[in-house]
Amino acid sequence: MAGYGAVGSATYGGPVHPSGKPTPVLPKAIAAIDIGTNSVHMVVARVVSAERFEVLTRHKEMVRLGSGAGDMKHLEPEAIDRGVAALGRCQEIARGFDAEVWAVATSAVREAANAAEFLARALEESGVTVNVISGTEEARLIQLGVLQALPVYDERLVLVDVGGGSTEVLFGRGADVRYARSLKLGSLRMTRQFFPDGRVEGNAVQKCRKFIRARLAPAVHEAAGIGHDVAVASSGTAQALAAMAIARRGDEVPGDMNAQVLTMKDLGRVIDDLAAAGTTEERLSLPGMSESRADILLGGALVLEQVCEAFGIDAVTISDYALREGVLLDMLARRPGAGLHHLSDLRRASVTHLLGACDDDPEHAVQVARLALQLHDLLGDRLGLDDDDRELLEAAALLCNVGLFISHSAHHKHSYYVIRNSEHLTGFTDNEKELIAQVARYHRKSAPSEDKHPLFAALSARDRQRVRAMAALLRVAIAMDRNHDGGVQFLTTTDHGEDLEVRLHARDDRDLDLECFTAADRSSLLEELLGQPVRVTSAGDGEG
For residues 437 and 448, what is the distance between their CA atoms, to the nearest angstrom? 12
Distances (CA, A) of 290 to 247, 269, 294, 499, 519: 11, 17, 6, 69, 64
Is 6 a domain residue?
A: no
Q: Is 60 exceeded by the pLDDT of residue 461? A: yes
For residues 444 and 448, what is the distance between their CA atoms, to the nearest angstrom? 10
Q: Is 60 exceeded by the pLDDT of residue 2? A: no
Domain end: 80, 101, 132, which one?
Answer: 132
Regarding whether 420 and 305 lie in a shared domain, the answer is: no
Domain end: 259, 288, 320, which one?
Answer: 320
Regarding whether 451 and 524 lie in a shared domain, the answer is: yes
**Structural domain for 128, as ranges:** 29-132
For residues 543 and 127, what is the distance between their CA atoms, to the nearest angstrom? 52
Q: Is 90 exceeded by the pLDDT of residue 53? A: no
Q: Kindly report which listed range (68-77, 468-477, 506-515, 528-537) carries the lowest average pLDDT score.
A: 68-77
Regarding whether 461 and 527 lie in a shared domain, the answer is: yes
Regarding whether 171 and 183 lie in a shared domain, the answer is: yes
What's the mean pLDDT in 443-463? 94
Looking at residue 344, its pLDDT comes to 58
Count other C-beta atoms under 10 Å from residue 184's C-beta. 14
What's the mean pLDDT in 153-179? 93
Closest CA to 488 of 375, 362, 356: 375
- 404-427 pLDDT, tens digit per residue, is 888 888 889 999 999 998 877 877
- 10-42 pLDDT, tens digit per residue, is 222 233 333 444 555 678 899 999 999 999 999
> Which stretches of 400-505 are DSSP H helices?
411-421, 430-441, 454-457, 461-479
Looking at residue 282, its pLDDT comes to 95
Regarding whether 158 and 88 lie in a shared domain, the answer is: no
Domains: count for the chain: 3
CATH of the domain at 116: 3.30.420.40
CB 487 within 8 A of CB 512: yes
What's the mean pLDDT in 127-133? 94
Q: What percent of the chain has pLDDT over 90?
A: 75
Looking at residue 334, its pLDDT comes to 75
Regarding whether 306 and 164 lie in a shared domain, the answer is: yes
Is 10 a domain residue?
A: no
Average per-residue pLDDT for the chain: 89
Looking at residue 359, its pLDDT comes to 86
Is 14 a domain residue?
A: no
CATH of the domain at 176: 3.30.420.150
What's the mean pLDDT in 278-286? 94
- 258-273 pLDDT, tens digit per residue, is 999 999 999 999 999 9
Is 510 a domain residue?
A: yes
> Using CA atoms in the order 452, 456, 457, 463, what is the torsion angle rounded to 10 degrees?
-150
What's the mean pLDDT in 279-297? 94
Regarding whether 314 and 374 lie in a shared domain, the answer is: no
Is 19 a domain residue?
A: no
Residues constituting the chain: 544
Closest CA to 237 of 67, 38, 40: 38
Regarding whether 530 and 465 lie in a shared domain, the answer is: yes
Regarding whether 375 and 518 lie in a shared domain, the answer is: yes
Q: Is 90 exceeded by the pLDDT of residue 342? A: no
Which DSSP string corresponds to 116-127?
Answer: HHHHHHIIIII-
Is 193 a domain residue?
A: yes
Regarding whether 140 and 125 lie in a shared domain, the answer is: no
Regarding whether 97 and 72 lie in a shared domain, the answer is: yes
Domain end: 105, 132, 159, which one?
Answer: 132
Distance of CA 399 to the CA centre of its chain: 17
Is 489 a domain residue?
A: yes
Is 5 a domain residue?
A: no
CATH of the domain at 356: 1.10.3210.10
Regarding whether 52 and 175 lie in a shared domain, the answer is: no
What's the mean pLDDT in 520-542? 90
